[in-house]
């Protein structure tokens, strides 16, 4: 009887190990709820706006307000609080991410990819690659910034056509491709950033509401957020 029980336990452990190795492009973060409602598969688009926010996302950083409104995630500023991030509970390695964003012209924002939050780094401060959402006159939307770490990695200096791609006051479509050490971005179909960098191979996706001292609430909206894993 004990031998049968031990054999059953061994088979179960081997099954878990084999399943864990099926897809290494995503995994659940240590803080995540294991009952997250989406588990993306290679080559298939997965909608990242599903169910209640708390099922699939976790907020880190500041105290901006996030909510689902229809088919959108809406982020609203809270004055005098640090940068806020709504982060996926899943982590992603090689993928294509597509989404649409609309932001108040007075508010900066960004899309974190392959990002991290570790107790050992600035008490868990969110850091990592950020694809810029920049409605200011600088117009560096689609550039790649290293949030809370190295700063600008691929800006839009000397790229006049790319700087024209983002349309203030309108919905803007972003496409982000992360494969190996290469990150590429497009804004409204216009190629923007092309970065080769190997610091982070995987991490979470995050939606930023930038810090502000503006007393009136400002908003950034995201819709049609979908991700496809690359083999």
- As a whole number of angstroms, the distance between CA 43 and CA 140 comes to 30
What lies within 8 Å, CB to CB, of 126 at 6+ separation is: 60, 61, 83, 85, 87, 112, 115, 116, 117, 147, 148, 206
The predicted model gives 180-190 an average pLDDT of 98
How much is the pLDDT for 28? 43
- As a whole number of angstroms, the distance between CA 145 and CA 220 comes to 19
The predicted model gives 45-53 an average pLDDT of 94
The predicted model gives 35-43 an average pLDDT of 57
How much is the pLDDT for 6? 47
Q: Quote the percentage of the chain above a pLDDT of 90.
A: 80
Parallel/antiparallel/unpaired status of strands 190-196 and 204-209: unpaired
Contact 50, 104 (CB under 8 A): no
Confidence of residue 34 (pLDDT cuts 50, 70, 90): very low
What lies within 8 Å, CB to CB, of 167 at 6+ separation is: 188
pLDDT score of 133 more than 60: yes
The predicted model gives 154-173 an average pLDDT of 98
Contact 89, 32 (CB under 8 A): yes
How much is the pLDDT for 231? 84
**In this predicted structure, which of 5-19, 96-110, 118-132 has the lowest mean pLDDT?**
5-19
How much is the pLDDT for 191? 98
How much is the pLDDT for 43? 83
The predicted model gives 39-61 an average pLDDT of 88
pLDDT score of 111 more than 80: yes
The predicted model gives 211-221 an average pLDDT of 95
Q: Please provide the average confidence, as pLDDT, over all residues in the chain.
A: 88
pLDDT score of 19 more than 70: no
């Amino acid at each position: 009887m004990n031998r049968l029980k031990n054999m059953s336990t061994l088979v179960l452990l081997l099954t878990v190990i084999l399943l864990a190795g099926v897809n290494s492009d995503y995994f659940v973060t240590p803080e995540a709820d294991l009952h997250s409602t989406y588990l993306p598969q290679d080559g298939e688009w997965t909608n990242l706006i599903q169910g209640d926010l708390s099922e699939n996302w976790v907020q880190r950083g500041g105290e901006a307000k996030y909510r689902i409104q229809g088919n959108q995630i809406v982020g609203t500023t809270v004055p005098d609080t640090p940068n806020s991030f709504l982060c996926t509970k899943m982590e992603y390695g090689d993928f294509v991410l597509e989404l649409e964003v609309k932001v108040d012209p007075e508010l900066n924002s960004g899309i974190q990819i392959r990002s991290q939050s570790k107790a050992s780094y600035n008490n868990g401060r969110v850091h990592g690659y950020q694809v810029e959402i920049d409605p200011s006159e600088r117009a560096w939307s689609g550039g790649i910034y290293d949030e809370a770490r190295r700063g600008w990695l691929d800006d839009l200096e000397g790229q006049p056509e790319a700087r024209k791609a983002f349309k203030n006051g309108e919905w803007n479509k972003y496409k982000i491709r992360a494969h190996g050490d290469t990150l590429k971005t497009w804004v409204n179909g216009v190629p923007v950033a092309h970065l080769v960098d190997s610091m982070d191979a995987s991490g979470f996706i995050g939606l930023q509401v930038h810090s502000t001292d503006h007393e009136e609430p400002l908003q950034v909206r995201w819709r049609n957020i979908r991700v496809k894993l690359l083999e």
